[in-house]
């Protein structure tokens, strides 16, 4: 029984830590400009080969 409680507590602690970690950057001041999939896509040059018509992205290489 004791072990079960310990396990439950560690799982809870992990969940809380993860929640803090993931909610931090979104609301914190240290966060970079809000990540935008289109910007990332263009920054990674995915549009060299891929067209995403729904996002208005035309591929640049023909």
Q: Minimum distance between the CB of residue 49 and ligand HEC, rounded to whole angstroms?
A: 3
Asked if residue 38 lies in contact with residue 55, where contact means CB atoms within 8 angstroms, the answer is yes
Interaction between residue 4 and ligand HEC (CB under 6 A): no
Q: What is the rounded distance in angstroms from the CA atom of residue 59 to the CA atom of residue 34?
A: 24
**What Cα–Cα distance (Å) separates residue 52 from each residue in 8, 38, 42, 45?**
45, 9, 11, 13
Considering the complex, state which of residue 5 and residue 49 has its C-beta at the smaller distance from ligand HEC.
49
Considering the complex, what minimum distance in angstroms separates the CB of residue 59 from ligand HEC?
9
The nearest distance, CB 28 to ligand HEC, in angstroms, is: 26
């Amino acid at each position: 029984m004791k072990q079960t409680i310990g396990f439950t507590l560690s799982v809870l602690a992990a969940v809380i830590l993860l929640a803090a970690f993931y909610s931090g950057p979104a609301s914190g001041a240290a966060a970079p400009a809000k990540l935008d999939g289109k910007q990332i896509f263009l920054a990674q040059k995915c549009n060299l080969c891929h067209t995403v018509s729904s996002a208005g992205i035309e591929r640049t290489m023909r």
